[in-house]
Homo-oligomer: A and B are copies of this chain.
Amino acid sequence: MTFKAPVKDMLFALEHLAQLDQIARLPGFEDANLETAQAVLEECARLNEEVVAPLNWEGDKKPSWWQDGEVRTTPGFAEAFRQYAEGGWQGLQHPVEFGGQGLPKTIGAMCTEILNAANLSFALCPLLTDGAIEALLTAGSDAQKATYIPPMIEGRWTGTMNLTEPQAGSDLSLVRTRAEPQPDGTYKIFGTKIFITYGEHDMADNIVHLVLARVTGAPEGVKGISLFIVPKYLVNADGSLGARNDVRCVSIEHKLGIKASPTCVLQYGDQGGAIGYLVGEENRGLEYMFIMMNAARYAVGVQGIALSERAYQKAVQYARDRVQSRPVDGSVAGAAPIIHHPDVRRMLMTMRALTEGCRAMAAVAAAAYDAAHHHPDAAVRRQNQAFYEFMVPLVKGYSTEISHEVTSLGVQVHGGMGFIEETGAAQHYRDAKILTIYEGTTAIQANDLVGRKTARDGGTVALAVAAQVQATEAALAADGSPDAQAVRVRLQAAREAYEEVVRYIASQAKADPVAAYAGSVPYLMLAGNLMAGWQMARALLAAQRELTAGRDVAFMRAKIATARFYAEHILPRALAQRDAIVYGADALKALALEAY
């Protein structure tokens, strides 16, 4: 159960797809060149391969457990988290003024992938802490920032997001947790929150809960929700820890996967009210939480890529070791390692192409985020922001749905052994299932894609992206190699299907919302597929150039083969999705609700 971070492929994506040299020209990112990226990724790989990855299966066997309101994490987790924090990894993407390293997301996202591939359950704690830091950076007061951000960046404290309640899952308008204003300007918080990841644990001295609640007398619905800091331990003026706050972990869930990560039910205010501090203004909580959620959504997409990578590596290893049957082409006289069998190779290539495609897509999205936040030209910032926002539901939705497919193939490659838990392939399959659910289900991502990202501007951004794809088609035509030609044909067909769907969705969103939203998830999958396939096509062009220059021949040849495989095996799915979206709404509407 070894894991090796795919540093080489990451550096390729940074250099040739995300164009890190452009990022390194942005103000504040002057040091973020390819050499820095390489040094950071290699150091990140070392820690995660040696310390974090070996705890993955341990965590599945000995999940965190609850006793009397306290949660003990898997043995080894606390020490690994200490090393993670000491290495400065929690602050990688955060501002230097609060103790962070201030690196671009383009590099940071690769580190997120490595951490999550090593140990998804472990990685959730830093991931949620990142979100809490992000929210406070945007909406917290200076005093709140100074009090809470540095200890989180140092890894002494961690953060959580408290949104869900039993009756309020995807629908936050139903949140009932209440906040009573106190004379001293604080609030008393009362309510029950569920599904709180690392809501209680023994890896840090304090936990900064960010909690959605409704101030007494606030409006109904999402416009009456405010955001509060509710620390597990109150913080004294000098930053030292004071009294225990009135928040208790009353139980943790027994889950399909990510077992080492404690999923907590938190009870606020059973002993008179938990003390909470308002973040920003009253009734703007959802807006702030979305900052956190948008960062988290991108990160969950990266988790999908991470699990796919881990599952792929494991399957390749097994396919090299396991000897069964003679290859159909007679290339080996007797029984051979199963990697010689065409269908095993098809499965491995599918896993590989999907993983590399999603990674490439995420890298390009991260580069847009960095440009959107750091480029000196406002028009360039706006353009990149629009592209990034378009990409977030695709990175989240597509990469996580794909992680189901890839981890399932990972089990399948192992045959009967894959079904035995000790083999470890099944853990990735179980872990992956949460990724299409938390931080907004795939349907929620698809609603965002249809509503805010496509219908609102009549498909303008979506079609502008298609024009960029078309430019890549032209470059493939100019390249002229058989591989580029094969990719061009499939890319064009998928892009045309996408354009047809964008026009359909944009025109139906108001005219026939059931039809538009019935196609929302297939549209997300089509668009994600096209974005990943497009980046693989760009990767092919870059690899051809490198090959011509005689650089890294074996790697470049593999990249070209993988890009072509993506185009010929994965991109054609767009045709099926187009048909289902454009022609399929009537059949959906025809079944009466009571007939299900």
A→B interface (CB under 8 Å)? 164, 167-171, 173-174, 195, 253-257, 316, 319-320, 323-325, 328-329, 335, 339-346, 348-349, 352, 404, 408, 411-412, 415-422, 426, 429-430, 433-434, 436-438, 441-443, 446-447, 486, 490, 513-518, 520-522, 554, 557-558, 560-562, 564-565, 567-569, 572-580, 583-584, 586-588, 590-593, 595-596
Contacts and interface: CB of A to CB of B under 8 A. Distances in A.
A561 B589 CA distance: 8
Which of A335, A436, A443, A575 has the most chain B CB within a 10 Å cutoff?
A443
A588 B443 contact: no
A572 B575 contact: yes
A320 to B, nearest CB: 8
Given A164-B416, A343-B518, A422 B579 contact: no
B573 A561 contact: no
A420 B575 contact: no
A438 B426 contact: no
Which of A316, A320, A408 has the most chain B CB within a 10 Å cutoff?
A408
Nearest to A423: B256
A442 B568 contact: no
22 contacts: A168-B324, A169-B416, A171-B324, A171-B335, A255-B421, A257-B419, A328-B513, A339-B596, A346-B518, A352-B596, A404-B408, A412-B441, A490-B579, A554-B592, A560-B590, A561-B595, A565-B587, A568-B584, A572-B578, A572-B580, A574-B576, A575-B576
Contact of A433 (B195, B426, B436, B588): B426
Contact of A588 (B323, B342, B426): B342
- Majority secondary structure, A binding face: helix
Contact of A415 (B342, B441, B584): B441
A586 B490 CA distance: 14
Contact of A591 (B419, B517, B561): B561
B586 A564 contact: yes
Contact of A569 (B173, B418, B580): B580
Nearest to A490: B579
Given A324-B169, A335-B173, A345-B518, A329 B419 contact: no
Contacts of A592: 554, 557-558
Given A345-B588, A430-B430, 11 more contacts: A164-B416, A169-B416, A253-B420, A411-B433, A558-B592, A558-B595, A561-B587, A565-B590, A572-B579, A572-B580, A575-B576
B343 A520 contact: yes
Given A433-B426, A572-B579, A341 B171 contact: no
Which of A173, A517, A520 has the most chain B CB within a 10 Å cutoff?
A517
Given A339-B593, A517-B341, A558-B591, A429 B256 contact: yes
B434 A419 contact: yes
Given A418-B437, A517-B328, A348 B572 contact: no
Given A254-B420, A256-B426, A335-B174, A587 B558 contact: no
Contact of A254 (B352, B422, B517, B554): B422
A121 B336 CA distance: 33
A542 B503 CA distance: 37
A170 B586 contact: no
A174 B325 CA distance: 9
